[in-house]
Amino acid sequence: MRIGYPCINRTISCCGNKTFRLKSYSEARLKDTVKNNLACLLQILKFNLEHRLLFFRLTSDLVPFASHPINTFDWKKHFQPEFASIGEFIRTEGMRISMHPDQFTLINSIRKDVLGRSIEELKYHVEILDLMNLDADAKVQIHVGGAYADKESSIERFVRRFDGLDNSIRRRLVIENDDKLYDLGDCLRISERTGVPILFDVFHHRLNGAAEMTDEDCLKYTTETWDSKNDGPPMVDYSSQNPVGVPGQHAETIDLDDFAMFLKHTGRFDFDVMLEIKDKEESAIEAFKLVSNDGRVRLNGF
């Protein structure tokens, strides 16, 4: 088990997800920004290593406007050495990486233009991981997508579109149960037909589908969708409810009792946990302390 957090680190004074407005686009600015972002990413990874946080989600803002037509700069070629050396660090230390394109990436959209942009965005994400020479255990997670007033045919469309994706994307793609539309049961049905692994989101499951399956069952079924040889251990997203926020709002800081309970219920399984908590690395460090007595936790990557 590796513990991680997403995208940004608030302890070190280095911002690896800098971007800018489309209006301010220039090639010079893009180069500066990417250079900064990659340098900060390495600093964050070094921080993570020191704190034994071996799981990390890369921000989609690493290369601003990467899949936008305005960006004609060959950033892959230009920054290839930087990507390669960050990748080497990750592999040497046995770290695990994920990425999560945002809500605009919908491969089951009824709109062809949206599908086209989504595929471009997925290409960008897997290119980052490919440039780092990471194995197929580095994943890109998306939701199933919209329902378009007909969930069944939207699932059909997802399956069809997934099967048509380039293998460079398919080998890294995983789907995540969401909080409103596609619950774990839907994801399992889709996985049966496509072979796509399922990333279990604990918090979403509590908001959408909790009555059907216990956490233990969820881990059991989702673990079966990961091919341990190629995909690596299952990934799990964990968050808890913000006690003063509206239902669905992520907690500011980790609820250690709740997390301990989750670990207890899922003790039979090994997986990597991404803590989607507002205070990021702070809660991840707390969680690491909590699980450092757990037989599953990894103190190094191997």
Partner DNA sequence: TCTGGTCAAGGTGGT
Partner DNA sequence: ACCACCTTGACCAGA
271 binds DNA (CB under 7 A): no
117 binds DNA (CB under 7 A): yes
167 binds DNA (CB under 7 A): no
CA distances from 5 to 85, 90, 123 (A): 22, 15, 23
* Residues of the chain by 3-state class (helix, strand, coil), percent to 5: 45, 10, 45
206 binds DNA (CB under 7 A): no
Nearest to 271 by CA among 205, 195, 216: 216
Nearer CB in complex with DNA: 4/146: 146
109 binds DNA (CB under 7 A): yes
Among 47, 73, 148, 221, binds DNA (CB under 7 A): 148
Rounded CA-CA distance 225/141 in Å is 14
Nearest to 175 by CA among 198, 148, 207, 208: 198
Q: Is 299 exposed, middle or buried (0-12, 13-18, 19+ CB in 10 A)?
A: exposed
Nearer CB in complex with DNA: 249/292: 249
Nearer CB in complex with DNA: 78/264: 78
Nearer CB in complex with DNA: 115/236: 115
246 binds DNA (CB under 7 A): yes
Minimum distance from residue 172 beta carbon to DNA (Å): 18
Rounded CA-CA distance 145/158 in Å is 8
179 binds DNA (CB under 7 A): yes
248 binds DNA (CB under 7 A): yes
Nearer CB in complex with DNA: 171/278: 278
68 binds DNA (CB under 7 A): yes
210 binds DNA (CB under 7 A): no
Q: How does DSSP assign 192-228, residue by residue?
A: HHH---EEEEHHHHHHTTTTT--HHHHHHHHHTTS-T
234 binds DNA (CB under 7 A): no
Copy the structure tokens of residue 296: 């599953």
Copy the structure tokens of residue 200: 């279990």
Rounded CA-CA distance 126/129 in Å is 5
Minimum distance from residue 271 beta carbon to DNA (Å): 22
Termini Cα distance of the chain: 11
Residues numbered 8-67 forming contacts with DNA, rule: CB under 7 A: 8, 15, 17-24, 60, 64-67
Question: Site residues (CB under 7 A) for DNA?
Answer: 8, 15, 17-24, 60, 64-68, 102-104, 106, 109-111, 113-114, 117, 121, 145-149, 179-181, 246, 248-250, 278
